[in-house]
Amino acid sequence: MNFIDLEYVPGKDDVIAEYYVEPNRISFEKACNHIAGESSIGTWTSLTTMKERILRDLKPSVYYINKKERIMRIAYPLELFELGNIPQIMSSVGGNVFGMKVIRNLRLLDIHFPAMYIKSFKGPVHGISGVRKITGVRKRPLLGTIVKPKLGLDEKEHAKSAYDSWTGGLDLVKDDENLTNMKFNRFEKRVAETLKMRDKAERETGERKFYMPNITAEANEMIRRAEIVKGYGGEYVMVDIVSVGWSALQTVREFNENMRFVIHAHRAGHAAFTKNLKHGISMLVVAKLARLIGVDQIHIGTADVGKMEGSREEITEIEDEIEESLILEKGHVLEQKWHHIKPVFAVASGGLHPGSIPRLVKRMGCNVIIQAGGGVHGHPKGSLAGAKAMRQALEAVMEGVSLKEYAKRHEELREALNKWK
Amino acid identity of residue 158, one-letter, is: H
Kindly name the residue from 148, 209, 270, 353 that is annotated as catalytic: 148
Cα–Cα–Cα angle for 192, 197, 200, nearest 5°?
A: 130
Supply the pLDDT for residue 313.
54
Which CATH architecture is the domain 15-118 placed in? 2-Layer Sandwich (3.30)
Supply the pLDDT for residue 421.
86
pLDDT of 13 higher than 90: yes
Pick the CATH number of 127-419 from 3.40.50.620, 3.40.50.300, 3.20.20.110, 3.40.640.10: 3.20.20.110
Kindly name the residue from 112, 122, 126, 266 that is annotated as catalytic: 266
Supply the pLDDT for residue 304.
55
What is the residue extent of each domain of the chain?
15-118, 127-419
Q: What is the pLDDT of residues 71-87, one digit of tens each?
A: 999 999 999 999 999 99
SS (H, E, C) the chain: CCCECCCCCCCCCCEEEEEEEEECCCCHHHHHHHHHHHCCCCCCCCCCCCCHHHHHHHCCEEEEEECCCCEEEEEECHHHCCCCCHHHHHHHHCCHHHHCCCEEEEEEEEEECCHHHHCCCCCCCCHHHHHHHHHCCCCCCEEEEECCCCCCCCHHHHHHHHHHHHHCCCCEEECCCCCCCCCCCCHHHHHHHHHHHHHHHHHHHCCCCEEECECCCCHHHHHHHHHHHHHCCCCEEEEEHHHHHHHHHHHHHHHHHHHCCEEEEECCCCHHHHCCCCCEECHHHHHHHHHHHCCCEEECCCCCCCCCCCCHHHHHHHHCCCCCCCCCCCCCCCCCCECCECCCEEEEECCCCHHHHHHHHHHHCCCEEEECCHHHHCCCCCHHHHHHHHHHHHHHHHHCCCHHHHHCCCHHHHHHHHHCC
Intrachain domains 15-118 and 127-419 with the same fold: no
| pTM of the entire predicted model | 0.93
> 197 pLDDT band (50/70/90 cuts)?
very high
> Does the annotation mark 408 as catalytic?
no
What mean pLDDT, rounded, does the chain reach?
A: 93
**CA atoms within a 13 Å half-sphere pointing along the CA-CB vector of 179:** 26
> Does the annotation mark 68 as catalytic?
no
Instruction: State the average pLDDT over residues 117-129.
Output: 97
> 308 pLDDT band (50/70/90 cuts)?
low
Q: What is the pLDDT of residues 322-357, one digit of tens each?
A: 333 433 344 467 888 888 999 999 999 999 999 999
Question: Is there a contact between 185 and 179 (Cβ–Cβ < 8 Å)?
Answer: yes
Backbone angles phi, psi at 17, to 5 degrees: -115, 135
